[in-house]
Structure 1
Amino acid sequence: MANLVLVYGMRLLPADELEAVEAAQLKLKNGNEAQVTMHILEGSRESIESQLRTSVEAFFDFYPEI
């Protein structure tokens, strides 16, 4: 299996300050480009942590071969 890289970013803001979220652009060594879909988790600290754990687990369910 190839060595993998997980691309992610996090920033915590007051919920009422966020206007829009756009995809992040990636440039690959082979000259291609790709996008990373950004996700929003909202709630208390405990709720966000729980949602993030669930989201990460679900993400890897998409790739059972890993």
Structure 2
Amino acid sequence: MGKKTPTVTRAPQYTLSYGMRLDRGTGPEEAHPHVPIVLPDGSTGNLTLHVINGTPEEIKAKLLASVDAFFEIYPEA
């Protein structure tokens, strides 16, 4: 009787699309414009833009909290 090779389960692969830009002044945080994008498989989709105002330290803290919240939406990821 031969040895059994252990089954290796690979986690699903994803693509995270994002962009950042830091401008002086403030923009309307309640506005969430959508930008058309071409996805890795060639299809099209929309990317929601988020606006965060504050000092660089405040923006970084809010951005990191937003990233954590984003991944809480997708617990299977």
TM-score range, shorter chain: 0.7 to 0.9
Gaps of 5+ in 2: 1-10
Identity %: 36
Cα drift, residue 65 of structure 1? 0.6
Report the equivalent of 2:75.
64
Give the root-mean-square deviation of aligned CA atoms: 2.1
1:1-66 matches, within 5 Å, as 1-16=11-26, 22-28=33-39, 29=41, 31-66=42-77
Bigger radius of gyration, 1 or 2? 2
Cα drift, residue 21 of structure 1? 6.6
Q: Which runs of 4+ in 1 moved over 2 A?
A: 18-22
Cα drift, residue 32 of structure 1? 3.0
Normalised TM-score (structure 2)? 0.70
Gaps of 5+ in 1: none
> What is the SS of the residue equivalent to 2:62?
helix
Normalised TM-score (structure 1)? 0.80
- How many equivalent pairs are there? 64
Bigger share in helix: 1
